[in-house]
Amino acid sequence: MASFRSVEPVLHCRKDRPREVVRLSVRLLTGVFAHTTEFPNPVVDKVFFESKSKELSKLIASAKGNTNKKNLRDVLARELHGYCSEMLEYVKPICKGNVKLITLTGFEVNRQPRKHQAPAKRVILKIVRHGGATQYKMILAKMQVGAGVTPDPATHQRDVRYTVELTITPEDPKSWNKVCVSAPSTKLIFDEVFPGMKNYVRVYGTNAAGNGPRSNETYFTPVIP
């Protein structure tokens, strides 16, 4: 889908975090400074920039427990961050939204907004008694940590509400009734059950992207009050 904003290189680096600054400087030395055909006239001298990067790296290693060196480290980190910012402004008009060129610089690419995905398919762990004589609660299995999730926010499951469906005749598609609607995953509570019979249940999530797939059905037999 189309991007909501232009693609461009970004710092993703804070001047008060020396280690971040030195890591970025190293990437630029093997990136924009090394690719002279694509980036022929850097606004910062490479030899000078490299010397500052090496100096900061040494100060980071020796600053622990030494207030004077910590102060020198922090001052140099801010200075080197400024040079990185100058290089960022230098490459922007050259890259012109070209992701391959941006990647070549050593800078990161700004993240492009995307629609969130529909909720993932869930697994029903068990059905337990809850509260009243005919009230039950559905417990979902926890989603595997990191499963299908990347740094891209579009893969993050958020603002999901769930619907529980129940029937005693699962072979009839029209017999499924919604017994719990728009509830968080931890509050799937319902009392429209058929005591003494096999009750089949399933669940699906909904978010701004739409409905996710229904879970596999399972069954339980409510006790007769």
Helix, strand, coil percentages in the chain from 3-state DSSP, rounded to 5 = 30, 20, 50
pLDDT tens track, the chain, 225 positions:
344 468 899 999 999 999 999 999 999 999 999 999 999 999 999 999 999 999 999 999 999 899 999 999 999 999 999 999 999 999 999 999 899 999 999 999 986 656 668 899 999 999 999 988 899 999 999 986 544 444 444 444 568 999 999 999 999 999 999 999 999 999 999 999 999 999 999 999 999 889 999 999 999 999 988
**Which of 109, 142, 163 is the last residue before a domain boundary?**
109
**Which of 109, 137, 157 is the last residue before a domain boundary?**
109
The single-letter DSSP state of residue 154 is G
Using CA atoms, how far apart are residues 34 and 27, in angstroms rounded to an integer?
10
Q: Quick check: is 79 in a domain?
A: yes
- Cβ neighbors of 105 (< 8 A, separation 6 or more) are 9, 28, 31, 32, 35, 39, 87, 91, 95
Same structural domain for residues 147 and 212?
Answer: yes
Using CA atoms, how far apart are residues 162 and 43, in angstroms rounded to an integer?
55
